[in-house]
Structure 1
Amino acid sequence: MEINANEIASIVRSVLNGMENGGAAPAKDLPPVPATARVAMLTAPKHFEVKEFPIPEIGDDDILVKVEGAGICGTDVHEWRGDPFGYIPLVLGHEGTGEIVRLGKNVKTDTAGKPIKIGDKLVTSVISCGECNICRLHPGETELCDKQGVYGLIPDNEKNHLCGWFSTYMHITKGSTYFVVNDLTLDQRMLLELAAVTTHALEQGKKTGRLNFNSKVLVQGCGPVGLMMIATLRTMGIDRIIAVDGNENRLNFARKLGATDVVNFKELPELAQRVQAVKDMTDGVGADFAYQCTGNTHAASDVYKYIRRGGGLCEMGFFVNNGECTINPHFDLCNKEIMLVGSWDYSAAEYPIAMAFLRRAKGMGIPLEELITHRYPLDQMNEACEMNVSQQGIKICYMA
């Protein structure tokens, strides 16, 4: 078979185009990408503006993702309400996912070493600095990195406006962490970051030695974090879970996710009443372990009273400064010998564990995807955050 010079040149161009796009299809077969992307930019407290920016050139170490959706986190809402991080203006959204449409030629695998290609579904995780005391001396605790970054909590900059998931496209640059998640549904992918928070908290709780198959565990607060925590505990084999909240709809959903008992603080307004109710559910002694998942300082004080002597507590409700709480060191800690741990967020290395949890929960028939109750387009992000604050739904999401 004879091949002329023009045919040879065409073949070479096709091969080179494939190499430049992560070994994927030739450029002519790539999905189309517009010249610009739209973002919901937070320009002032409680004020998103939809803006349009050029999509930058994708470098050899970069990834361009067409956004499919993103969860709205409590941290997003805190930033929307009052800019506690001082990041305005910025594009929020760190619970996002989408499809790879462009891939730099140097990008061959994801952070876990899995092969990566155009068309794959992707999520991003946190980025540790690699230079601070924690990163250098305590590499197993990089969730505590002093300079930890995450897409969606990065101040806007001229080099890359597409650095948060509340956008139509995401530009992921060198040094990021990301994972291929083709086997997860869109809803599971939007819940993955939240699952990483609770699987990390589970491991923190286990460090106390007070959490095991026989534990009676109390979860205070049935927002998205508390509900996901209940599902995490149930998936790990804990079969006695007490949910505490004041919203009957959320308590009913807590039962669907694995709670065996519930306490509605609106029906039992006095702390002594609630403590007695918990004791009645736990052979008269109190919970073996508790997860405190609210950002309420009064709740943070109350939770110690629900725990038996010799029990344990994981505090995970304060991702921003919501003020101080009061405890009695004698009665709440020393007299009970409570083992207390905190839980911050997670490390990138914990994402594969969170993925495994989501798969396992689905296999057990735990309806995690029903956590998502409301979905909003880009031009209704202010309304989405208002819905989050109202607590009329559970998990609120942006859908591209």
Structure 2
Amino acid sequence: MTTFQAAVALAANHTEIQEFEKPSIVSESGLLKVAATGVCGSDWGYYQNLPASRGPLILGHETVGYIESMGSLAKEKWRLKEGDLVALEEYIPCGTCHACRSGDFRLCDATDWRLGGMRYGATGLNVAPGFWGGYSHYQYLHINTVFHKVPDGLNARHAALALPISNGIEWTYLQGGAGPGQTVVIQGPGQQGLACVVAAKAAGASKIVISGLANDTDRKRLSLAKKLGADHIIELGEVDVVQTVRELTGGLMADLVIDCASGGTDSVITAVALARKKGMVILGGQKRKKIPEFDSDQIIAKFLTVKGMRGHSYESVELALQLIHSDKYAVKEMSTHLLGLYETDLALNSLVGNSVKEPIHMVIDPNVDTTQT
């Protein structure tokens, strides 16, 4: 086969299946045969408001696939072989800056599209050869691709959970320091919040509390949170969340609060109120707005540590793949929908409550034929 198909985001709220010639591979590149790509909430921002500077692009960055071919330099650098099943990170770092040399390549300016950098699932067709996203039969591989070999026996659909689960591990354990004897409160039962529940359980936290809205969607997710290891669930509006946590902890409050809620800024203020003295607050849910009249003196008075989170580390992705492969904590139940390439618009609209019913983690498998449905 010399041609392949990809779902190309052309304008706001619209993708189109287009056919392309398979690109030629040079010494410092490779080609991935895509097996599965997870649908991330961050895809919605591009899909809803495609930046003109990015042009048409192929979305999808939670990609798992088989190495189809490699150039000689790429093969020497990657230490992989054709046919290996790998999970990709979205970052394409420069490899030479201070952030890269210190192991924090996610902070490399070359990974930030706002600074003109490249990222899988966020780089347009105008950057040759253009095939930088996972909603496609094939994805082009840059020499600085960050790979993770998928453990033997773990299928591609569940391996596509690696990035959201790695965020949970990064935020809860590696950065949040969750461990035995601690109370962890998680705000928001989306992909990231549920991943934090799994990470807190794996870290041995003594009390895991998760809050969500009092609606059918969040109730379904909160129910899954219980299976994943949450000890207590709180429906916002039904009870006072701060008072409930106070009662659950005998007045001590939470050692670690992780805000995974997107949208409004109220959850940031609540997170600070939920943390105990000398506790930690992790901010993971982007608000894209300022907090009005925020009393920052509370952070001083309670001697808090407040951290903003940006993605995951190499270590957290490795740990995520091991955790998924272990099949503990019912984590595979987070994968709720498997869709085909022609259902890309359906999947993306489902991120905001349209189309697919009660999604948690959706996967696009380009090899599933849905053209007849």
- The interval holding the TM-score normalised by the smaller chain is 0.7 to 0.9
1:301 and 2:269 equivalent? yes
Corresponding residue SS for 1:118? coil
Residues 350/373 of structure 1: CA separation in 2 closer, same or farther (3 Å cut): closer
1:344 and 2:324 equivalent? no
Corresponding residue SS for 1:251? helix
Match of 1:168 in 2: 137
Equivalent in 104, 107, 112 of residue 141 of structure 1: 104
1:311 and 2:275 equivalent? no
| Aligned mates of 2:341, 2:314 — CA distance in 1 | 27
Matched-pair contact (CA < 8 Å) for 1:256–1:367: yes
| Aligned mates of 1:173, 1:393 — CA distance in 2 | 31
Unaligned runs of 5+ in 1: 1-33
Matched-pair contact (CA < 8 Å) for 1:78–1:84: no
1:262 and 2:233 equivalent? yes
Match of 1:355 in 2: 321
Matched-pair contact (CA < 8 Å) for 1:204–1:342: no
Q: Give the deviation of 1:86 after TM superposition.
A: 4.7
Match of 1:16 in 2: none
| Aligned mates of 2:33, 2:72 — CA distance in 1 | 18
Unaligned runs of 5+ in 2: 112-117, 367-373
Alignment RMSD, CA only? 2.1
Q: Give the deviation of 1:388 after TM superposition.
A: 1.6
* Deviation by residue 1:321-342 (Cα, 9 ceiling, x = unmatched): 6211243122x31221111112
Corresponding residue SS for 1:176? coil
1:370 and 2:333 equivalent? yes
Q: Give the deviation of 1:349 after TM superposition.
A: 5.2
* Deviation by residue 1:69-110 (Cα, 9 ceiling, x = unmatched): 111111111111123695231111100111222233444467
Partner amino acid, structure 1, of 2:149: V
Q: Give the deviation of 1:239 after TM superposition.
A: 3.0
Give the stretch that moved more between structures: 96-105 or 159-168. Answer: 96-105
Matched-pair contact (CA < 8 Å) for 1:110–1:178: no
Corresponding residue SS for 1:88? coil
Equivalent in 350, 353, 363 of residue 397 of structure 1: 363
Partner amino acid, structure 2, of 1:315: L
Matched-pair contact (CA < 8 Å) for 1:239–1:258: no
Matched-pair contact (CA < 8 Å) for 1:127–1:348: no
* Deviation by residue 1:175-197 (Cα, 9 ceiling, x = unmatched): 22222214222233111111222
Corresponding residue SS for 2:194? helix
1:242 and 2:178 equivalent? no
Corresponding residue SS for 1:74? coil
Matched-pair contact (CA < 8 Å) for 1:388–1:396: no
Match of 1:103 in 2: 70
Partner amino acid, structure 2, of 1:200: E
| Aligned mates of 2:52, 2:234 — CA distance in 1 | 34
| Aligned mates of 1:90, 1:256 — CA distance in 2 | 37
Residues 52/108 of structure 1: CA separation in 2 closer, same or farther (3 Å cut): same
Match of 2:26 in 1: 59
Alignment identity in percent? 26
Match of 2:86 in 1: 122
| Aligned mates of 1:76, 1:85 — CA distance in 2 | 16
Q: Give the deviation of 1:229 after TM superposition.
A: 0.9
1:380 and 2:349 equivalent? no
TM-score norm. by structure 1 comes to 0.81
1:334 and 2:300 equivalent? yes
| Aligned mates of 1:158, 1:284 — CA distance in 2 | 55
Corresponding residue SS for 2:104? helix
Q: Give the deviation of 1:283 after TM superposition.
A: 1.3
Match of 1:12 in 2: none
Match of 2:6 in 1: 39
Partner amino acid, structure 2, of 1:142: F
Match of 2:180 in 1: 213
